[in-house]
Structure 1
């Protein structure tokens, strides 16, 4: 890949922690300048920005609640303005709400749809105005969109399943422009929201072929491949990076 990866610009939504932070750091290590969005924690976003800069790449963070479409669009346009271009959009920011369907309120439904479905759509809509040939849109889904193994996941599974349709349709639409669109379905990943020593870990490990949680860097490696020139002929695809949970 060499210099073909240099001086490209990526925006990672929800890039201050968990999988998003790992993706941002990996893309920087691969030679990209990186913008991230974050919701509230300025100090954590600043830490990721500093780590990227220490690696020799440029970085910037935008505070944006993904439930606010104007903020999402502003972050996309801000990233392109800050670096003079935009090559890669990683739609990672998401909201996880679980519980029996008869306990899901209308506010839960509306916010989940806003963050997990509307935000990736409007981010992609804004990004395509900047992306050129070789551009990438990479959506982060979930293994529970493929296999709803546990009760109480109807709302979250529905929201992540919507990304399948978005990915396929955009892959078809943007193919003539040599812009690829792909989807990564992570399995259980060791983050603050779902720690590898949490109360569900034992059960999840039992139904995962590899028998353990992913490290965020494992998911970032799949995203990095899709962002690279090596994935130039992959589009409209959904890749399960779930340790065999859906096998």
Structure 2
């Protein structure tokens, strides 16, 4: 009986020692870092998020617009993220392969205690149905952390719309990346619109459309403009104007 007790104690000690590193979520490993990459496929847009104790950043691209924003993540945020990764057994998530083409998606990797793990839901790799909630829990937490940091860095910018663009016989649409859309047909005519943007480059696309329903190719587009909108921390307003069939901003 004494031998059984000793063996049981030793076994419990071994299991406890093994679990002290993998299951103890009170302390974040010194080398803990997480990367999320989103993009690919046929869309020229995506982002890479990197989170760690020392330095964190969000690198975002949309067409030719590229921006990299650095920020500091608190230990409480990293601890929460680490706990979510451990609790959802991220390293155990199962995937499968399926032949598809032009599919983008999300890849998440992390490093802790000298070990690295990567799981992908992109291209020809898919997350098993039984593990999708666990993958989503980690992905959502990363995105929430970065979203809050980008919002904290963002500023209010006014888009001043020139009279040359204000035409009640036209339909005017503004797109600033995926952050903002203004549609005159939906929002009514406005001389200025305020949008919240983070400092850096944004891809902007503005169109003026004829209201007629002509089916002749290209006949609905009256004027348009597309390109990079650059915002810095001191930007207050942007003027949008038209010259012939081209729309510009400055």
| TMscore range, shorter length | under 0.3
The answer to which structure has the higher strand fraction is 2
Structure 2 length normalisation: TM-score? 0.28
Choose between structure 1 and 2 for higher RCO, CA contacts under 8 A separated by at least 6 residues.
1
Larger helix share, 1 or 2: 1
TM-score by length of 1: 0.28
